[in-house]
Structure 1
Amino acid sequence: MALVSIVLSLLLAVFVSFLCFPAVVRFLGEQVGHYLRRSSRTRRELLLARVATEAKNHEAERIEVEDYDWEEIASAAIDGRVGNKEDKQWEGIVGFFHPFCNAGGGGERVLWAAIRATQKRWPKAVCVVYTGDHDVDKTAILKRVKDRFNIHLHPPTVHFLYLTTRHWVLASTWPRFTLLGQSLGSLVLAYDAFALLVPDIFVDTMGYAFALALSSLFFPNVPTGAYVHYPTISTDMLDSLQAGGQGINAGAGKGYRGAAKQKYWQLFARTYSRVGSAIDVVMTNSTWTQAHVSSLWGPSRNKRNNTTENDIDVVFPPVAVEEVTQAVEVSLASEKKRGPYILYIAQFRPEKNHQLILEAFAKFLRSDPKLPAYPNEKPQLILIGSVRDSLDEKSVYKLRLLAHELHMKENVEFLCDAPWPQMLEWMGRASVGVNGMWNEHFGIGVVEYQAAGLISVVNNSGGPKLDIVVDVDGKPTGFHATTAEEYAEGFGKALTLSLEETLAMRQRARKSAERFTDRGFAEKWLRNMDKLVKLQVERTRK
């Protein structure tokens, strides 16, 4: 902890210096940037040589072509200028900052879909992923991407650089001042990345805004882009400290310690706002995230760009809607294949609130529900999610214990790191999909539920409430809940609808999911990526 304290103090000193002497810090930062470029030049040359060699070995190989037309997508993304040969032949290096790229969650699906779209649009560009997953090599990662998400990448132009300082962004490294610690730790991690290779475009897809600010400080000519899944801090988080608040920190603002925590969060929010203003292109995954990011970053960004327009774009994450709809039937005949199964697809992390869903399911079972549509079957809760590390493994262990304590061990099934085909199978067998996270930034799993025709019972907040489980044709596509009692009631409603009502709601849910396709993501991603490429070309010419 002594080393952590020293580094934290040094980083704080740097930021204080920047606030007081910005010109001096910018000058020193650019000198560090020149040093990093020189020191990583050899690795860059070796990487490009490796790309050329692998490309020759894969000449006969082609990336699988999806059902949609990529030329048409690229054309729509850049207003019909797809024929510009010079533009399409851009061959720079795009650095994707994603230290947990092998986690297998919705955030990783965004990363791989973004890389796939970038590869399609700029075949000569090189996509480099900065990751801390030392236990897997390129082959293993790409295989998991294919198995988990059914995304096929072109191996020669995607490479991985392995970071040695990922522990600096782990919550366990910062038992106190976690928000600030992880953000400053991301500076250490970003420096580690730049020491390995300085990209031509730097994109963060995990929410490390401070890393992007460091890039702008070191390399003013390198455009930066952010895909924000969840703001590091938000007004909802500040409000949650009050009595009656929700989330992990609910009601933590009481007393002197609580007041100090609230003040600390307010100061951090101001710093976070300053940092966000330096990013060239910002995308968010939902209207909820956009609203919060705009409230924090918008004023500073507008001042910097001398405009009043909101330049923060909503780019809904890619969901395998087409694949799910093809694999899972929604019809009168398919109702015979479904049972009273409640499906929860989410990583086994505390904020996903599996505990709430287990408690709600226990209340539902204790109510002795009468399910005419499933007279000979017992309700089951199916929990599917990826397990990233030992902390997630401990979470699963505690959840298993809770299921046992609630006397429903036989009614709950845990499927850790389930492959995509198994997930599809359960989407076809289940009747209800559930989401328990408060202020879920988007909810890819919820869209998958809808595409499969599941009736969703989701938290009455965030993306699932505002963007996904909304009325279609003036009628509901699911139910919203907050407490265990409300979830239990939602399960009961979803499983006791008449056959006619059930089928109609499933079809409305599937119609709702059509707004969140891979194609829609690709079009918007390329539109924003095109801005970064043009910025890079312009800045290089100066």
Structure 2
Amino acid sequence: MELGVAWLHSLDPLTAVLVAIAAIFLSIGLIIFRVVRGLPKLTKGTVAFFHPHADGGGGGERVLWCAVDALQHAAPHVRILIYARQGVTAEQLVQEASSRFNVKLRRPIEVLGLQHVDLIAPEAYPRFTLIRQAWGSLLLGLEALRLMVPEVYIDTTGWAFPYPIAKLAGSRVACYVHYPTVSTNMLGRVWSRQPMYNNDEAVSGSSLRSLLKVLYYQAFAVVYGMAGACADAVMVNSSWTAGHVRQLWWSWEEPQLVYPPCDTSDLQSLPLDRRLKHLFLVSVAQFRPEKNHRLQLEAYAMAREQAAAKDANWRNSPVLVSSLKMVGSCRGPDDEARLAQLQQYAQQLGIGDAVEWHVNVPYAELKQLLGGAVGGLHTMLDEHFGISVVEYMAAGVIPIAHNSGGPRADIVVDTETDGAPQRTGYLAETKEEYCAAIKAVLEMDQRDRLRIAAAAQRRAATMFSTERFHQAFMQAVSPVLPKQS
């Protein structure tokens, strides 16, 4: 031992560092090799989806169930399993897929219960959240593979760190990336010392801490890129996500753009001509901090204040007779507490009587709400895609979306009508811009509203249908699927 240390000290500093790094990677490799040797043998003919919160009510879960439906239709010989949190049953998931997303699965599925889903909960890690969540996802992925090693491991959550273990265990790995775990946008905001929900003021207020966090993110991005390189088939949900995956992942394969499935065919049955005596806006989003519901409330309150100042007779103002219906799901106590805070904030802004709250509603109620709304709010910065925005458009609801990410790159894009540009919605960033867009939609002439709504609906039907998702998803995963015996 002493001889080995003496030999290391005899090397020049650069060589010593390289030897030390090589030793670390060798040690990690040996640990992973021993872990993989302890896993069960590969089960042929199986496809397992890694989606711990499969019972969630968000857009990611809609992607999961439409992917399962596509596989059941195109590859009936495949046995499909879901790695989901313990306590969730297959019957419950099938029922929720139908009631929440109008996805009726053709055959039963199987569920493999995960005990330690809390390992990926961000609230469990107040400091060094990224790396600790990444390590937690690796351990959770290992727990999943100890239950069964499938022939094809499909990740629909974005946790890339279990990919190397699944690959070494013999699985072919496919993934659907909703949002890169780290992105150049995140690095830029930390470097510019911009405070946000994932960059607190203690860091943004210090140049040294900001520098250290940038270095931390850069190191994390390297490991993330190495893990992503283990995927055999990579699907991304938007042009924005594709750009970040190209930058970060060490892969020669071009990520395949597979737009998320939106229930455009069913929502298109809703009439475009809305009852203007009952004007209302709708907001569809889980009650999570990044969705930024506070900005929606502030912009709507500002619009009402401006309308009241302009029109003394409130009965003649479309803005003042309107209402805002907040529709969303709660994943647990933290979301429920956040919802209560938002309700209190609406009261403080003086719009408590004009805002309605619809929590964990079934699909039928969501459809009814979309069928009556004239405008839909979306305020998440760098939303990877924005299924709710597409649902607005498909239902004939004019979107007012954040001017970033997927909504800007792929969704709220002008089209052409008779050779002239045609608006399909509004993009905004600041409270003032959202306020102006809200007033424009609520005060708009009915003919102008129908023209925009019709153009938005055509774009949604053309680009983001469930049928288009099925085709693109199967084209991407077919090369790695089990062969029919």
TM-score for the superposition, normalised by structure 1: 0.79
Q: 2:85 corresponds to which residue?
A: 132
In the alignment, which residue of structure 1 is the partner of 2:36? Answer: 33
The equivalences for 1:84-483 within 5 A come to: 92-134=45-87, 136-156=88-108, 158-217=109-168, 219=169, 221-243=170-192, 245=194, 247-249=196-198, 252-253=203-204, 254-297=206-249, 300-302=250-252, 310-326=253-269, 328-330=270-272, 334-336=273-275, 339-368=278-307, 378-473=321-416, 474-483=421-430
Q: Tell me by how many angstroms 1:35 deviates.
A: 2.5
The 3-state SS of whatever aligns with 1:127 is strand
Structure 1 residue 229: Cα displacement: 0.2
Q: Distance in 1 between matches of 2:468 and 2:359?
A: 30
One-letter amino acid matched to 1:520: R
How far apart, CA to CA, are the structure 2 residues paired with 1:206 and 1:286? 15
TM-score (norm 2): 0.88
Measure the CA separation in 2 of the matches of 1:17 and 1:121.
50
Question: Contact between 1:98 and 1:204, CA under 8 Å: does it hold in 2?
Answer: yes
The 2-side partners of 1:294 and 1:422 are apart by 39
Number of residue-to-residue matches in the alignment: 455
Alignment match, 2:5: none
Q: Give the Cα–Cα distance (whole angstroms) in 1 for the partners of residues 316 and 37 of structure 2.
A: 69
- Equivalent position amino acid for 2:154 in 1: V
Say if 1:338 and 1:430, in contact at 8 Å, map to a contact too. no
Any gaps of 5 or more consecutive residues in structure 2?
A: 1-18
For the aligned residue pairs, the C-alpha RMSD in angstroms reads: 2.4
- Asked if residue 508 in structure 1 is aligned to residue 455 in structure 2, the reply is yes
Change (3 A) 1:36 1:466: same
1:524 to 472, 478, 482: 472
After the TM superposition, which of the residue ranges 271-280 and 448-457 deviates more from structure 2? 271-280
Aligned to 1:88: none
Note if contact 1:339-1:431 (Cα within 8 Å) is conserved in structure 2.
Answer: no
Preserved CA contact (<8 Å) 1:240 1:249: no
Is the 2:153–2:166 contact (alpha carbons within 8 Å) kept by the matching residues of 1? yes
1:412-436: CA deviations, max 9, x gaps? Answer: 1111111111111111111101100
C-alpha distance in 2 between matches for 1:431 and 1:244: 38
The offset of 1:394, in angstroms, is 1.0
Aligned-partner SS, 1:413: strand
Q: AA paired with 1:283?
A: M
More strand by share: 2
Distance 2:276 2:390 in 1: 21
Contact 2:319–2:442 (Cα < 8 Å) also in 1: no
1:489-534 CA-to-partner distances (Å, cap 9, x unmatched) read 110111122222111011111011011000100001101110212x
Letter in 1 for 2:175: A
Moved more, 372-381 or 488-497: 372-381
Q: Note closer, same or farther for the CA distance 1:372–1:224 as it changes in structure 2 (3 Å cut).
A: farther
Q: For the Cα contact (< 8 Å) 1:100–1:133, is it kept in 2?
A: no
1:446 Cα deviation after fit:
0.4
Deviation, 1:111, is 0.3
Q: Would the aligned equivalents of 1:340 and 1:377 in 2 still touch at CA under 8 Å?
A: no
Structure 1: tracts of 5 or more residues without a match: 1-15, 45-90, 303-309
In percent, how many aligned pairs have the same letter?
33
